[in-house]
Amino acid sequence: MVPAERPALGLDEDDVRVIVPPMGGGFGGKHGAGPGVAAALLARASGRPVSCRWRQADEFVRGHVRPAAVIDVRAGAAADGTLLAWDFLDVNAGAQAIRPPYRVVGRRLRYQPAASPLPQDSYRGLAATANTFARETAIDELADALGRDPLAFRLANADDDRLAECLATAADAAGWTAGRTARAATGNEARRGLGIAGSIEKDARVATCVEVSVTADGVVRVTRIVTAFDCGEIVDAANLTSQVEGATVMALGPALFEAVRLDPHGIANGSLGAYRVPRFSDVPPIEVILVDRPGIPSAGGGEVPLIAVAPAVGNAIHRATGRRLRAMPLVPTGLVSPVEPLPG
């Protein structure tokens, strides 16, 4: 048996007492052991029990951040829409949801860990958010290159009937129509576009359809979200719906504007006044459609509903403006500028 590493204190577990008061939920790494180790070192130095609390500024500059990612996708398809090749490389984020839920003749999937200049830890949904964003953006782009409707392209290549049902259900409820659902913005009018994305993770299926409006001067607003969710047999529909709604609201942040900004001195936006999170005014009407699967063991409902939001938003912006955005956050300033004339 290999002894556990004890770099911080050099104590056995039986010689340490940790008291954690009741607290709310946390959706990430919770900064690892940092605050606890600091409290222990202070307690040893003072010879007294210590309560360690971080200020908000400490949380930003000393806590863990979500893993950054560079994801490279190369794909090929036949003229009839059959997926022929899929080469996917994730650097740093993780391997969750890296497997495409589509039939493809040849594929290569790779996850490459990397050193991070900032301490990083888990995020709600883990790497499934980054991998789904990259994949579903690329799938939309491939459908566009082939001149095919993005929904029809997904359904034709879907390798999972449950996911296909979620995609069709969300699209139907959102009023999906084939082709580009957008019109030019004049005066105070805005272009509108629908985008869709889907994924499989932790034995749950999710499909999200998003409508956005983009004004003539490039202001982006999410105006509606429809999510179809299949996590097996439903035990408590009201609670599950709340889980999906909460995950969706949380997902809007990194999809649209959440980002840690760095300058030569470190983190430049180290406060909630400077770090943009979703507000009530950012949240559109959200429709949740639960797909029940009696007899199939229930999967979790708290994480998977996040992962299709960002690519659906990006795909909707493309359908509204013709501009393809390939990085999160999609509109950190709230603008897509300039808004180019739509092709065709």
Please tell me the distance from the alpha carbon of residue 27 to that of residue 145, in angstroms, as a whole number: 37
This prediction's pTM: 0.89
8 A C-beta contact, residue 132 and residue 311: yes
Res 154: pLDDT: 98
Q: What is the CA 91 to chain-centroid distance, rounded?
A: 16
Please tell me the distance from the alpha carbon of residue 120 to that of residue 34, in angstroms, as a whole number: 12
Backbone angles phi, psi at 212, to 5 degrees: -125, 155
For 56-112, how does the pLDDT look when each residue is reduced to its tens digit (9 = 90+)?
888 888 788 889 999 999 999 999 999 999 999 999 999 999 999 999 999 999 999
For 19-44, how does the pLDDT look when each residue is reduced to its tens digit (9 = 90+)?
777 766 666 556 767 778 888 889 88
Sketch out the chain's domains with CATH numbers: 29-55 (no CATH), 70-321 (3.30.365.10)
What's the mean pLDDT when you consider all of the chain?
89
> Of 286 and 264, which is predicted with more confidence?
286
Please tell me the distance from the alpha carbon of residue 206 to that of residue 136, in angstroms, as a whole number: 12
Please tell me the distance from the alpha carbon of residue 200 to that of residue 98, in angstroms, as a whole number: 10
Q: Among 187-191, 261-265, 336-340, where is mean pLDDT lowest?
A: 336-340
DSSP for residue 208? E
Res 25: pLDDT: 64
Res 53: pLDDT: 81
Res 4: pLDDT: 45
Amino acid at 293: R
8 A C-beta contact, residue 192 and residue 224: no
Please tell me the distance from the alpha carbon of residue 300 to that of residue 201, in angstroms, as a whole number: 10
